[in-house]
Amino acid sequence: MLLKGVVVGSIASVPNAASAAGGPHGGKTKTDESDATTGDPKHTEPNDAEPNDIDESSLAIRIVDIPDALTGGEFLEWTLEVENLTDESIEPTVDSFVDGESVGSVTLTIGPGETVQPTTPSVPTEPVDTEGSVTPRVSANGVSDERTVRLLPAEELDTALQFPDPELTVQPGTTVHFEVGVVDPDATQTTTWFVDGEEVGSTLADPRQSVYFAEQDAHFWQETFDTPGPSEVVAAVDVDGEQFRASWTVTVDPKGLADPSIDAVRPEPGILEFDSETDEETTLEIDVSDPDENLDRVVWWLTQADTILGVSDVSGATDTASLTVGAELCHTCVIIPWVITGDGTFASEPLWEAVDVNIGEPAGTASPDDQDVGTDDAGDSTAPTPPEADAQSEPSG
């Protein structure tokens, strides 16, 4: 139900995460364990021994401030105290876990008799439809402490604001495009995406999200499904601190829906020359098809600039999408159309690299046909983005 891997190796808070989620505690009651009379929270762990000749009698570790309950989708945060019980400086390594998953590690230097409060992680929780719990745990050199926090159900998002339908069946290897729409146009809205309980993406980490939200009134995620059987996709939607939950069940079956395709391209893929100093324009066309006969739209992206050049409506089993472009292009930027069906199935391909004739073609530039095409964490093809373009990441699925 939690973020995996985002803060491993450090214990710094996720930037802007708490503010985006309406604060770390969401107004819930917090438990304060800083008073020694509340009991000894230490637990001996025989496998937690660390170097520096520090044993369990050398330090105390306490979670002293943590909410009793959170609404699923809020960020889990806590305050930690580490006390040096010796008359010498020590350097303990503190490891943090949530439900057994590592979320951070930090090595401290603590003077004789001192108590410190290191920065702790900010961990997003998955929105749940029934009450559950999460358990944060901290350990250092044979000493640990843990707490259990109730996880309350989030409000279900209006199904009219989610795309595609909540249940769908797709063939192995099919990519699905998900969206959650605007809840309140006057509020700040962020979305965190989970697949089978694992956090896979966030609007805070992708500059295209704000562009898409502004122009298409939605946040998006794309996931490729390969494993037979059902998978659950959940969106945690935070609207000025209020939590909403949208969910989909995607079943992989050979008889399910298939990806659409780009069948023909005009002009030919590769270098697309333009003149930034004139009004000269070029019309781009792609022939698209959907074996399930439910084409919906083509979104034309321009990489590096992270802008949407336009959206073309398409329909049926086959159609042609066109876009007229000119001086709005940018040198070495790549035009990538997204083909989206009414069922949510998805295809994309980098087709043209724009070259300003007033600058000239960069040395060694290859056409899309000359390069291997990969996909990033949202399912976008990465080639032929040149080295100076926005870096693309590996597939999330």
> What's the CATH code of the domain at 232?
2.60.40.10
Given a cut of 60, is residue 388 above it in pLDDT? no
Domain endpoint, select from 121, 152, 183: 152
Question: In the predicted model, what is the mean pLDDT of residues 319-348?
Answer: 97
Note whether residue 333 is domain-resident: yes
Answer yes or no: do 159 and 243 share one domain: yes
Instruction: Inform me whether the pLDDT recorded for 397 exceeds 70.
Output: no
Any idea what DSSP says for residue 12? Answer: P
One domain, residues 25 and 89: yes
76 within domain boundaries? yes
The answer to whether residue 374 scores a pLDDT higher than 50 is no
For residue range 73-94, list pLDDT tens digits in order.
999 999 999 999 999 999 999 9
Asked, for residue 145, whether it belongs to a domain, the answer is: yes
Identify whether 127 is preceded by a cis peptide bond (ω within 30 of 0): no
Q: State which residues form the domain around 231.
A: 155-252
281, pLDDT greater than 70: yes
The per-residue pLDDT for 205 is: 82
147 and 37 share one domain? yes
Local confidence band at 57 (pLDDT 50, 70, 90 cut-offs)? confident
Q: What is the pLDDT of residue 20?
A: 34
Question: Is residue 134 pLDDT above 80, yes or no?
Answer: yes
Q: Of 216, 232, 252, which residue is a domain's last?
A: 252
Residue 379 has pLDDT above 60, yes or no: no
Query: Per-residue pLDDT for 219 more than 60?
Result: yes
Q: Model confidence over 4-40: pLDDT tens digits?
A: 333 322 223 333 333 333 333 333 333 444 443 333 3
- Which whole number is the average pLDDT over 240-266? 97
Q: Determine, yes or no, domain membership for 185.
A: yes
Q: What's the predicted TM-score (pTM) here?
A: 0.73
Is the domain of 225 the same as that of 304?
A: no
Read off the pLDDT band of 351 (50, 70, 90): very high
Residue of 51 and 143 predicted with greater confidence: 143
pLDDT tens-digit map of 181-192: 999 999 999 999
The reported pLDDT for the residue numbered 360 is: 53
**pLDDT beyond 50 at 385:** no
pLDDT band at 54 (very low <50, low <70, confident <90, very high): confident
Q: Are residues 270 and 221 in the same domain?
A: no
Q: Cα(245)–Cα(40) distance, rounded to whole angstroms? A: 38
Check whether residue 31 and residue 89 sit in a common domain: yes
Q: Are residues 141 and 180 in the same domain?
A: no
Q: Are residues 141 and 38 in the same domain?
A: yes
DSSP character string of 308-373: EEEEEE--SSEEEEEEEE-TT--TT-EEEEEEEETT-BEEE---EEEEETTT-PPTT---GGGS--
Radius of gyration of the chain from its Cα atoms, rounded to whole angstroms: 25
For position 358, which CATH number holds? 2.60.40.1930
Decide: 122 and 98 in contact? Cβ < 8 Å.
Answer: no
- Where does 137-296 have alpha helices with state H? 207-216
Q: What is the pLDDT of residue 394?
A: 39
Question: Are 49 and 139 members of one domain?
Answer: yes
Return phi, psi of residue 210, to 5°: -65, -35
| Cβ-Cβ contacts under 8 Å for 143 (sequence gap 6 or more) | 42, 43, 44, 45, 48, 56, 59, 60, 61
Query: Same structural domain for residues 212 and 290?
Result: no
Average pLDDT over all residues of the chain: 82
Does residue 97 sit within a domain?
yes
Total tally of structural domains belonging to the chain: 3
Same domain membership, residue 356 and residue 265: yes
Average pLDDT on 144-154 reads: 95
Q: Would 393 be classed as within a structural domain?
A: no
Q: Yes or no: say if 112 and 88 are a contact pair by the CB < 8 Å rule.
A: yes
Give the pLDDT of residue 386. 38
Look at 7-11, 130-134, 223-227, 288-292 and tell me which has the smallest mean pLDDT: 7-11
Indicate if 138 and 219 belong to the same structural domain: no
Q: For residue 53, what pLDDT is reported?
A: 66
